[in-house]
Amino acid sequence: MYGFEAMTFNIHGGYLEAIVRGHRSGLLTAADYNNLCQCETLDDIKMHLTATEYGPYLQNEPSPLHTTTIVEKCTLKLVDEYKHMLCQATEPLSTFLEYITYGHMIDNVVLIVTGTLHERDVQELLEKCHPLGMFDSIATLAVAQNMRELYRLVLVDTPLAPYFSECITSEDLDDMNIEIMRNTLYKAYLEDFYRFCQKLGGATAEIMSDLLAFEADRRAVNITINSIGTELTRDDRRKLYSSFGLLYPYGHEELAVCEDIDQVRGVMEKYPPYQSIFSKLSYGESQMLDKAFYEEEVKRLCLSFEQQFHYGVFFAYMRLKEQEIRNLMWISECVAQNQKSRVHDSVVFIF
Amino acid sequence: MDLMRSEKMTLVQLIIPVESAHRAVSYLGELGLLQFRDLNDDKSPFQRTFVNQVKRCAEMSRKLRFFKDQIHKAGLLSSALPTLQPDVDLEALETQLAEHEHELIEMNANSEKLQQTYNELLEFKIVLQKAGVFLVSSKGYENAEGRELDDSVYPSDYPESASLLEQATQSGSSISSGLRFISGIILKSKVLLFERMLFRATRGNLLFNQASADDLIMDPVSSELVEKTVFVVFFSGEQAKTKVLKICEAFGANCYPVPEDLTKQTQITQEVLSRLSELETTLDVGIRHRNAALHSIGFHLTIWMNMVKREKAVFDTLNMLNFDVTKKCLVGEGWCPIFAKPQIQEALQRATHDSNSQVGIIFHVMDTVESPPTYFRTNTFTNAYQEIVDAYGVAKYQEANPAVYTVITFPFLFAVMFGDWGHGICLLLGALILIAREGKLSSQKLGSFMEMLFGGRYVLLLMSIFSIYCGLIYNEFFSVPFHIFGDSAYKCRDKSCRDAYTIGYIKYRDAYPFGVDPSWRGSRSELPFLNSLKMKMSILFGVAQMNLGIILSYFNSIFFNNSLDIRYQFVPQMIFLNSLFGYLSLLIIVKWCTGSQADLYHVMIYMFLSPFDDLGENELFWGQRPLQILLLLSALVAVPWMLFPKPFILRKLHTERFQGRAYGILRSSELDADSEPGSARQHVEFNFSEVFVHQMIHSIEFVLGSVSNTASYLRLWALSLAHSELSTVFYEKVLLLAWGYENFLIRMVGLAVFAFATAFILLMMETLSAFLHALRLHWVEFQNKFYAGDGYKFKPFSFAALADDED
């Protein structure tokens, strides 16, 4: 039905699209970031933020402020907005919105499992979890000893259950296993999300497949770089790549055999969209890769707002807001630790 | 005459010594007649001079909000007596607030601790009561075998007991390690999940008993009462125990040990109960103490909040000022009305005097080319009308203000559409109620709808009075005609005369003295007669109002010394409108006065189509044909007159000015620029085509507009027709129909429907629609003749406005 969304989209999605576009215009602008980067103390940051959309969330915080409070309150705002939208949404938008949070759920599961492995307090771990990825029985994760139990006890109730089919083993949990589990889950999640968007069709499918493909490719590169020098075999590595995206399938074959960062670079530069990312980096450098990917992602997310009548804007907004919170966290950390010279290192301007 | 044009404003500069700056600004805030300009526009909020003070104020208002929240939570009403407090110093207030906050937080922490222990005991009590029942009942199945209690926090091993085992484990298999149990309490909403999770974790080898607790338990975080459920889990095995405990922890279930022994149980219950009552008294004392503290805070809270808000506003304003070179003075710029200059000067002197400053505050007028803000001094009556005009656009500085005329024309045009003196009286009662309770209503917070109604109470008053007047003219009282001003001038010749179109009634006495003769009502020619009357009337009103608009543009041109606009805009516009529609109005009046039967459509249409033909029976007065030809010609001339000369003359003037400056005065103009750097020279590029297109659009708009606007005034007729027909329908088809039955019930139902329809459809919907149409007639048809509406409002720095903001 491509091209005909305009006739019916607004029946169910019009209100929420208006809401999300309204939220988007509340995102901090380059001028805001410039002002924020000039702040001397966290109080200055608070003062500046109270003049923005974050005002009501920060104004009641007592004055010696911590970075965590700022981040917490900003995240709270995001969560409130998300919950509001989810309440208002009807099918299939509500499912789409729920899909957005699964990534956080995977991260939270991994966080708790790793934490309990290292015998950290569960309550403490729960505080670190992203509020978007919370589910009822998340605290129970600490009970499980191996993957099978993890699945049988807790995750079978969650939307993540279907993604688990590939990693049910009776092996005891260790760091390596958990990391593999994270990536397997993520792979299954992305593929599922991709299929869901394809099923929605229209502009949503077109835009989301582009955004998800980028996400999948970025994960593939990250997996490759992180697994260099570990005992992960090539086949295992290839199993973790999602089966779509620009790199699929030939790029994956080449990535699977990479031995160092420059080989990865060689593979990626064959793909024009990624050429520009890697051309910014000098050889052998992987530090700035994250930022380069983030910048590219933000650019793509912003572009999705140029088209109307599709669900991609919700995904894009959530991602942009998360990026904004990351930015705020970085700026506040720099200010708090007197490292103002490094403030520009990791801030990605959204507009 | 204050409202005719906005107040004369002037840009002033203040040079204030630092020591008296704060006082001066707060005095100005009390006066509320000076609008400061932000001279630090380029600086971000935290780079400004008084940022620390602003931060402190924000911190204080945070504390005050905290107090307010606490008072609200404690369910106390802040009985704010407006006691005049001796001027508290800001620093003193700050320390005072900090003390209060500290005290309050400490008290909260204490009571929270107490509350937590109290909760624990309460839960323990409930668990003891409920779980005890399970244990006792399960004991019945059991062999009478002695049993020992561990003193461990968590309950204890059972000796083997086969029957209980069979009870507890569904399979009844031979687990020989013994049976244990855990009892506790959990949020009711989590019970299901909890049970399922336990079931999975122990692979079904458990017995889960639950009972909902009778008392609600206060959640210490949100201080809400929540429902909880007591549970007892029986299971076997050491591994299962750790699992169950972990799950309990994960679900936030509180576990309490319940002794097996009945005597011990009662003993512990006793202990718990006594401790509970002890704690209760402690808690009560704590709460009373806290309430007393909150009460004393609540006493001053409003005053403090006002004060902090004022202080913050003062520092925000101070942040708009600039330091001068010596860093000893603050320089501020702002707009003030000219009449307020002595008051401001007086306030500034007072400030200098009160702060014992050696140096006075310098206050002087500056020249500027910038357009000053628009400021009307309105009162409660005119304010609503000014708002109606401002909603369209704020008047340009010193432009003729349509609000003056709107005061009368707006309610009047409304009433023309809403003419019914029965409905008018209902509206009047509503308006009078609002006005009578003005003092009470203005102090309290109203809903958005009531607020709108209350704000427009004087509009409503005039609207209803005019509706009564127009209703008397239309002779309609809930659509029923009355013989108020004597008897009808007509009487029936024979029985069938009500159905006759032309000649039925005969006039036998003088015309009905005021308004429409009641005999028209119900006759066959009622509609044609009323339509013709109302249609013509609307055109007369329309032409009159549009003429007023054009005349106002004349006064605007005179005021701004723009003779070009008078000659090439005002004059041709007057000629064009009046030669067509002014002539029509003339014809209408002549026809009314002479009682002629000429067809005005015909006259108007053939005036264009064949102006030289003989008018025949449609001639209303001598010399009509030559007059029509003259009018037509002048209308034709008026169009190019308003289109062409103005842009060409403007271009000529521009080139002349430019040429004059090109050689001789170059040097002096440079000097000028140096001497007044602030004033932007208006070297605007003259773009002829743009000016010409603009003029063309303007002229076309006027020419087409005079036709369409006149037609637009016909809505007066249409709406008044709709209103009267609608009320007739409700009266005849509902009320009279129901009254035709003898049945009391039917009559009551009919009356109810009629009352409902009158109240909601006629009084609310029709009022709204007539209001909107009157609004449109003013905004579009009237104001587009003269009103630019591109000014901006005067927003003085004022504490009074600050207090309004919060509500």
- The two tokens of residue B45 are 């909020």
User: What confidence score (pLDDT) does residue B495 get?
Assistant: 65
B97: which chain A residues are within 8 Å (Cβ-Cβ)? Answer: none
Q: What is the pLDDT of residues B374-414, one digit of tens each?
A: 999 888 899 999 999 999 999 999 899 999 999 999 999 99
Average pLDDT over residues A271-275: 86
3-state secondary structure B164-221: HHHHHCCCCCCCCCCEEEEEEEEEHHHHHHHHHHHHHHCCCCEEEEEEECCCCEECCC
Residues A208-231 pLDDT 10s: 999 999 999 999 988 888 888 787
Find the mean pLDDT for residues B334-358: 88
Per the structure block, which two tokens stand in for B576?
């064009």
Chain B positions touching A140 (Cβ under 8 A) are 197, 246-247, 250-251
Q: Which residue has the higher pLDDT, A221 or B672?
A: A221
Judging contacts by C-beta atoms under 8 Å, the chain A residues touching residue B200 are 152-153
Of B46, B196, B246, the CB nearest to A47: B46
Q: What residue type is assigned to position B602 of the chain?
A: H
- Name the residue among B59, B60, B76, B58 with its Cα closest to residue B293: B76
Dist. CA B489–CA B455, nearest whole Å: 44
What does DSSP say about strands B9-17 and B490-492: parallel, antiparallel, or unpaired? unpaired
pLDDT of residue B661: 58
Amino acid symbol at B134: F
Give how far B62 is from chain A: nearest CA, Å.
Answer: 6
B638-651 average pLDDT score:
91
Of B44, B247, B251, the CB nearest to A35: B44
ipTM of the complex: 0.75
Cα angle B14, B18, B19 (rounded to 5 degrees) comes to 120
Instruction: List Cβ neighbours of B115 (8 Å cut-off, separation of 6 or more).
Output: B218, B220, B283
For an interface test with B, give the residue of A32, A137, A157 to mutate (most B CBs within 10 A).
Answer: A137
**Bridge partners, residue B255, by sequence:** B184
Beta carbons of A44 and B200 less than 8 Å apart: no
Contacts of A139 in chain B (CB under 8 A): 249-252
Average pLDDT for A332-349: 82
- The reply to whether B51 touches chain A by the CB within 8 Å rule is yes
Share above pLDDT 90 across residues of chain B, in percent, rounded to a whole number: 29
Rounded to a whole number, what is the distance in Å from the CA of A154 to chain B's nearest CA? 8
* pLDDT for residue B504 is more than 80: no
- Give the span between the Cα atoms of B154 and A183, in whole angstroms: 40
- Render pLDDT for B103-117 as a digit per residue (tens, 0 to 9): 888 888 888 888 888
Nearest by CB to residue B193, choosing from A60, A136, A152, is A136
Give ∠ CA B718-B722-B728 in degrees, rounded to 5. Answer: 145
- Phi then psi dihedrals of residue B109, to 5 deg: -60, -45
What pLDDT, on the 0 to 100 scale, is given for residue B195? 84
Please name which of B524, B527, B517, B533 lies closest in space to residue B483, comparing C-alpha atoms: B517
- pLDDT, tens only, B285-308: 888 888 888 888 887 888 888 888
| DSSP label at residue A172 | B
pLDDT in tens, B465-494: 999 999 999 999 988 888 888 888 777 776
What's the CA gap between B100 and B296, in Å, rounded?
10
Domains observed in chain A: 17-82+311-350 (1.10.132.50), 89-200 (1.20.1690), 216-309 (no CATH)
Closest CA to A166 of A175, A208, A155, A174: A155
- The three-state secondary structure class of B235 is strand
pLDDT at B411: 95
Question: Which residues of B are less than 8 Å from A44 in CB distance?
Answer: 46
Percent of chain B scoring above 70 in pLDDT: 87
* pLDDT for res B660: 63
Reference A248, options A276, A278, A220; nearest CA is A220
Q: Is the dihedral of CA A122, A123, A127, A131 positive or negative?
A: positive
The stretch B712-739 carries a mean pLDDT of 92
Question: Can you tell me the distance from the alpha carbon of B558 to that of A145, in angstroms, rounded to the nearest whole number?
Answer: 92
How far away is chain B from the Cα of A139, in angstroms, using its nearest Cα? 5
The helix (run of H) or strand (run of E) holding residue B590 is helix B583-594
Identify the pLDDT of residue A146.
Answer: 74
| Residue B187 forms contact with A (CB below 8 Å) | no
Domain boundaries, chain B: 9-94+288-365, 380-661+687-785
Nearest-Cα distance to chain A for B124, in Å, is 23
Residue A44 above 70 pLDDT?
Answer: yes
Q: Chain B contacts of A61, Cβ < 8 Å?
A: 62
Q: Could you say which residues from 191 to 210 on chain B have a Cβ atom under 8 Å away from some Cβ of chain A? A: 193, 196-197, 200-201
78-137 in A: which are within 8 Å (CB) of B? 122, 136-137
* Cα–Cα distance list, B773 to A11, B701, B712, B770 (Å): 31, 21, 10, 5
A51 touches chain B (CB under 8 A): yes
Closest CB to B62: pick one of A62, A136, A153: A62
Name the most confidently modeled range: A171-180, B183-192, B394-403, B476-485.
B394-403
DSSP assignments along B64-77, one per residue: HHHHHHHHHHTT--
Is residue B246 less than 8 Å (CB to CB) from chain A? yes
pTM of the model: 0.74
Q: Which amino acid is at B441?
A: L
DSSP code of A228? T
**Above 60 in pLDDT, residue B679?**
no
B46/A44 touch (CB, cutoff 8 Å), yes or no: yes
Question: B43-54: per-residue pLDDT in tens?
Answer: 777 778 888 888
What span, in angstroms and rounded, lies between the C-alpha atoms of B719 and B534? Answer: 10
- Tell me the torsion sign for CA atoms B437, B438, B441, B446: positive
Q: What is the DSSP string of B610-666?
A: -TTS--GGG--STTHHHHHHHHHHHHHHHHHHHHSHHHHHHHHHHHHHHHHHHTTTH
Any long-range contacts for B286-294 (C-beta under 8 Å, 24+ apart)? B286/B107, B286/B110, B286/B111, B286/B114, B287/B111, B289/B107, B290/B74, B290/B104, B290/B107, B290/B108, B290/B111, B291/B74, B291/B76, B293/B100, B293/B103, B293/B104, B293/B107, B294/B67, B294/B70, B294/B71, B294/B74, B294/B76, B294/B104
Per-chain mean pLDDT for chain A: 85
Which residues of chain A does B55 touch, with a Cβ-Cβ cutoff of 8 Å? 43, 47
Q: Exposed, middle or buried by CB within 10 Å (0-12, 13-18, 19+), for B677? A: exposed
Nearest 10 degrees: Cα torsion B555, B558, B563, B565: -30
Q: How many CA atoms lie within 13 A of A273 on its CB side?
A: 15
Contacts of A60 in chain B (CB under 8 A): 62, 65-66
Give the mean pLDDT of B72-87. Answer: 63
Residues of A in contact with B54 (CB under 8 A): 47
Q: What is the mean pLDDT of residues B309-319?
A: 88
Which residues pair with residue B210 across a beta bridge? B231
What is the token pair recorded at B322?
């600039």
- At residue B325, does pLDDT exceed 80? no
Nearest-Cα distance to chain A for B64, in Å, is 10
Q: ∠ at Cα A340 (A339, A341), nearest 5°?
A: 95
Give me the pLDDT at residue B674, please: 42
DSSP codes joined into one string, B498-559? GG-SSS-EEE-SSPPSSSS-GGGTTSTTHHHHHHHHHHHHHHHHHHHHHHHHHHHHHHHHHH
pLDDT(B166) > 60: no
Chain A residues within 8 A of B58 when measuring between CB atoms: 47, 50, 59
Does residue B678 register a pLDDT over 50?
no
- A171 compared with A100, residue with greater pLDDT: A100
Is B243 within 8 Å of A39 when comparing Cβ atoms? no
Smallest CA–CA distance, residue A159 to chain B, in Å, is 16
B67-71, B387-391, B538-542, range with the lowest pLDDT: B67-71
How sure is the predictor about B501, in pLDDT bands with cuts at 50, 70 and 90? Answer: low
For the ranges A186-200, B515-529, B629-643, the lowest mean pLDDT is seen at B515-529
Tell me what the mean pLDDT of segment B687-697 comes to.
Answer: 90
Burial B302-326 (b: 16+ CB within 10 A, else e): bbbbbbbbbbbbbbbbbbbbeeeee
Q: CB distance A47–B58 less than 8 Å? A: yes
Q: Which residues in chain B are contacts of A51 at CB distance < 8 A?
A: 45
Which residues of chain A are within 8 Å of residue B193 when distances are taken between CB atoms?
A: 136-137, 157
What CA–CA distances, in Å, run from A193 to A105, B21, B654?
14, 63, 67
Q: Do the Cβ atoms of A122 and B45 come within 8 Å?
A: no
Q: How confident is the model at residue B227, as a pLDDT?
A: 82
Residues A292 and A277 sit within 8 Å (Cβ to Cβ) = yes
- What's the pLDDT band for A18 if we cut at 50, 70, 90? very high
Q: What is the number of alpha carbons within 13 Å of residue B697 lying toward its C-beta? A: 6
CA atoms of B668 and B756, how far apart (whole Å): 77
The answer, for B46 touching chain A at a CB cutoff of 8 Å, is yes
3-state secondary structure of B311: helix
* Nearest-angstrom CA–CA distance, B83 and B563: 60
Shortest CB distance from B45 goes to which of A51, A60, A141? A51
Segment A204-210 shows an average pLDDT of 90
pLDDT digits (tens, 9 = 90+) for A50-71: 888 888 888 888 777 888 888 9
Which residue on chain A is closest to B48 by alpha carbon?
A44
Question: With contacts defined as CB-CB under 8 Å, which chain B residues touch A129?
Answer: none
Is residue B87 scored above 80 in pLDDT?
no
Distance in angstroms (rounded) separating the CA atoms of residues B320 and B34: 13
Q: What is the pLDDT of residues B544-564, one digit of tens each?
A: 999 999 999 999 999 999 888
pLDDT of amino acid B778: 94
Q: With an 8 Å Cβ cutoff, is B590 touching chain A?
A: no
- Supply B287's token pair: 């709460």
By CB atoms closer than 10 A (0-12, 13-18, 19+), residue B681 is exposed
